[in-house]
Amino acid sequence: MESQFTHVHDTPPPGAAADWTISQNWDAFTADEHAMWDRLFARQSDMLPGRAADAFLRGIDVLRLEKPGIPDYRELNARLMAATGWQVIAVPGLVPDDVFFDHLANRRFPAGNFIRTPEQLDYLQEPDVFHDVFGHVPMLADPVFADYMVAYGEGGLRSLKFDALKQLARLYWYTVEFGLIREAGGLRIYGAGIVSSFAESVFALDSDSPNRIGFDLARVMRTDYRIDDFQQNYFVIDSLDQLLDTTVNTDFAPLYAKNAALPPIPIADFLPEDEVITRGTQDYATAKA
Ligand code: HBI
Ligand code: FE
């Protein structure tokens, strides 16, 4: 299976360890780089109450992410370790799939050790420290989500043997990156790709354009996705326990085989058995096409 990214090399660059980790070298971040973090942080944290999942907002508090500047992993990891045994490690950028999964299986989240430039404020292709730390790490302070990510990493390592990476990558995409959750107050966002994006944090909840569909593991693993714009589909879980339980209680080997015999589901299609929460107009995607 090829990666969705074309520029992942098989060997770590000079200065990186065999597992691709590098030193965060926190002292080397410039005042401008810290200011970029602060600008992004302020913009998201103003908007996220009432939009982000409870677990995400709790994570921001527990980890004291409101402290100005790019977080120093020496401090952040002390809090994260105490909460769930996870830690953040610095990597140069995207790492090979097997390396990525091995880190997750061992409660290490790899974070790109650079921050976007002002020209990249709203969109960049590679995950930077704001996406990786602000987007992903608060959820890793939640014990249930923390276990889900471990299960995902272990499943990822196994998926490579089944040639099923593409199916498992769709699960990551539609949960860890772009997941929605139903809470007492209504739909909330928990996916890192949404919570770290100013525009998609609004679009994912407020727009009439995308479909919002009840989460179904087998269905999600067959559903194509786009990497270049707002999602056309969001999948909604009822709880983090649901996500963890279905993942650990499913035997993936037969599911991979069954799914592999079926065609992928085109991005905006519905199936008769879908639990439709929003039947999107797809106006946003259609206008762009
Ligand atoms: N590397 N740094 C980094 N971050 C990722 O999210 C990532 C990666 N390598 C591979 C990868 N993701 C994919 O395997 C998963 O998204 C499925
Ligand atoms: Fe991400």
What are the pLDDT digits (tens) for 134-151?
A: 999 999 999 999 999 999
* Nearest-CA residue for atom 17 of ligand 1: 169
What are the pLDDT digits (tens) for 193-248?
A: 999 999 999 999 999 999 999 999 999 999 999 999 999 999 999 999 999 999 99
Cα–Cα separations (whole angstroms), residue 239 to 167, 175, 183: 22, 12, 8
- Residue 56 Cα to ligand 1 midpoint, Å, equals 21
What are the pLDDT digits (tens) for 15-69?
A: 999 999 999 999 999 999 999 999 999 999 999 999 999 999 999 999 999 999 9
* Right CATH for 26-288 from 2.40.37.10, 3.40.50.300, 1.10.800.10, 1.10.3470.10: 1.10.800.10
Q: Show me where the domains of the chain are located.
A: 26-288
**Strand pairing category for 233-237 and 180-183:** parallel
**More confident site: 3 or 93:** 93
User: With helix as H, strand as E and coil as C, how does the chain read?
Assistant: CCCCCCCCCCCCCCCCCCCCCECCCHHHCCHHHHHHHHHHHHHHHHHCCCCECHHHHHHHHHCCCCCCCCCCHHHHHHHHHHHHCCEEEEECCCCCHHHHHHHHHCCEEEEECCCCCHHHCCCCCCCCHHHHHHHHHHHHCCHHHHHHHHHHHHHHHHHHHCCCHHHHHHHHHHHHHCCEEEECCEEEECCHHHHCCHHHHHHHHHCCCCEEEECCHHHHCCECCCCCCCCCEEEEECCHHHHHHHHHCCCHHHHHHHHHCCCCECCCCCCCCCCEEECCCCHHHHHHC
* Nearest-CA residue for atom 1 of ligand 1: 94
What are the pLDDT digits (tens) for 65-94?
A: 999 999 999 999 999 999 999 999 999 999
Name the average pLDDT for the chain.
Answer: 95
| Number of other residues whose CB lies within 10 A of the CB of residue 14 | 6
Look up the pTM and report it. 0.95
* Nearest-CA residue for atom 2 of ligand 1: 94
Q: Tell me which residue has tokens 């998201």.
A: 44
Q: 1 falls in which pLDDT band (50, 70, 90)?
A: very low
Integer Cα distance of 235 and 37 in angstroms: 29
Nearest listed ligand to the Cα of residue 100: 1
Q: Is 100's C-beta closer than 6 angstroms to any atom of ligand 1?
A: yes
Q: Is 240's C-beta closer than 6 angstroms to any atom of ligand 1?
A: no
